[in-house]
Structure 1
Amino acid sequence: MLTDGFHPIPPGRVAAIVTHLRMDRPPAAPPAPELDLRHVPAPDPAWYRDLFTRVGAVDWLWFSRLRMSEAELRAILHDPDVEIRVLERDGRAEGLMELDFRTTGTCELAFFGLAPALQGQGLGRRMMQAALHHGFARGVPEMTVHTCTFDSPVALPFYMRSGFVPVRQEVEVVRDPRADGTLPPDAAPHIPRIG
């Protein structure tokens, strides 16, 4: 348990505040999704990593899937209880929605976002409509999502406007992915590198 006050972060590490959110019931009579998101069963890990990087690793500090071995990532992506859907523009995936049903009784919106070229066009709201539709379609009683200070500052308010409610917070301290080559040194310039 952390005590009140300041706590030093070792050089070469970064810290984030993680907020976990939950939605206990789908929005009343959710309409069919407006966006046609292509379901990608059992995607190739290299294809997934490319999309993951473009959506979250360059401007933000998404790195978890980039540190996994190909076998670890393939095991997740090929699990029948993990559903990958993408928003495409000109034949290229530019939006990522990953629904994880591996925990009984819940659907985790594990990853959700748009590449920079599609941001600011209202597509996120429509993607969220699709996420809620597909997430609750399997009859689970809740959906969860988490975000952190490594993510876009609009993510947490967006999830709350979408109907998710914050339920707990954690502090995460990790090896800086820019220091070990997981991400380029200039990724997420709003998060300072120390050491």
Structure 2
Amino acid sequence: MKLLQTEVTQLVLHSLPKDPPPRPDIPRSLDVLKVRQIPLGYYRYLYTVGRAHHWTSRNLPDDALAREIHGPNTRLQVLYCDGGPAGWFELDAGRAPKETRLVHFAIMPEYRGLGLARHLLAHAIIAGFEEQPSALTVETNTLDHPAALPLYRKMGFRPVSRRLVSTPAYEE
């Protein structure tokens, strides 16, 4: 297994922003829907967005993946643009006391550059505070999309730590 070196930045947000960003000015219908008991195949399709960034934490056998994503603390929402999946996020609400974690956040490649990331992240932030945690946290690393860290900061997240880690390279 090939290992890659990356710098991980942990960020935190302690309250909802005062003003959510405006809806993207695009002539398309946008819907963000909660997904309960997402089919494993559909989740795996959405998760493919992470291949380019070496996401591997959900490359699991069916039973282990189902335990992770169908667990009582997991919250998933999918952004649909004109009916097609354009992005998604996954929250872990309550595994850590008084904290919700934004586990995964992604815009599908064919929908990038339309202003959808800010729109979807605003939904993730609102959903992240639904259970009134004292903090919403997220981690990003230097293998993620280069716009990830600036977007999190623009939306109010503040870095609290950085660390170097070795992570498995995505291999098919």
SS at match of 1:64: coil
1:63 maps to: 56
Distance in 2 between the 1:94 and 1:142 partners? 27
Distance in 2 between the 1:33 and 1:46 partners? 33
Q: CA deviation at 1:90?
A: 4.3
Distance 1:90 1:36, change over 3 A: closer
Give the counterpart of 2:4 among 14, 21, 25.
14
May I ask how many residue pairs the two structures share in their alignment? 165
Q: CA deviation at 1:96?
A: 1.0
Higher strand share: 2
Unpaired runs of 5+ in structure 2? Answer: 24-29
Deviating more after overlay: 116-125 vs 30-39: 30-39
In the alignment, residue 27 of structure 1 is paired with which amino acid?
A: P
SS at match of 2:91: strand
In the alignment, residue 100 of structure 1 is paired with which amino acid?
A: D
SS at match of 1:36: strand
Distance in 2 between the 1:13 and 1:77 partners? 25
Aligned partners of 2:54 and 2:168 also within 8 Å: no
Aligned partners of 2:7 and 2:142 also within 8 Å: yes
Distance in 1 between the 2:166 and 2:106 partners? 23
Distance in 2 between the 1:88 and 1:124 partners? 12
**Superposition pairs of residues 122-133 of structure 1, within 5 angstroms:** 122-133=115-126
1:152 aligns with 2:142: no
2:68 maps to: 76
Distance in 2 between the 1:162 and 1:32 partners? 9
Q: CA deviation at 1:123?
A: 0.8
In the alignment, residue 70 of structure 1 is paired with which amino acid?
A: D
1:162 maps to: 155
Residues 13-51 of structure 1: CA distance to partner in whole angstroms, max 9, x if unpaired? 2111111000112213x5599553111101122210111
1:23 maps to: 13
Distance in 1 between the 2:97 and 2:75 partners? 15
Q: Once superposed, what is the RMSD of the aligned Cα atoms? A: 2.0
1:173 maps to: 166
Distance in 2 between the 1:78 and 1:38 partners? 16
Aligned partners of 1:13 and 1:174 also within 8 Å: yes
Distance 1:134 1:32, change over 3 A: farther
Deviating more after overlay: 68-77 vs 84-93: 84-93
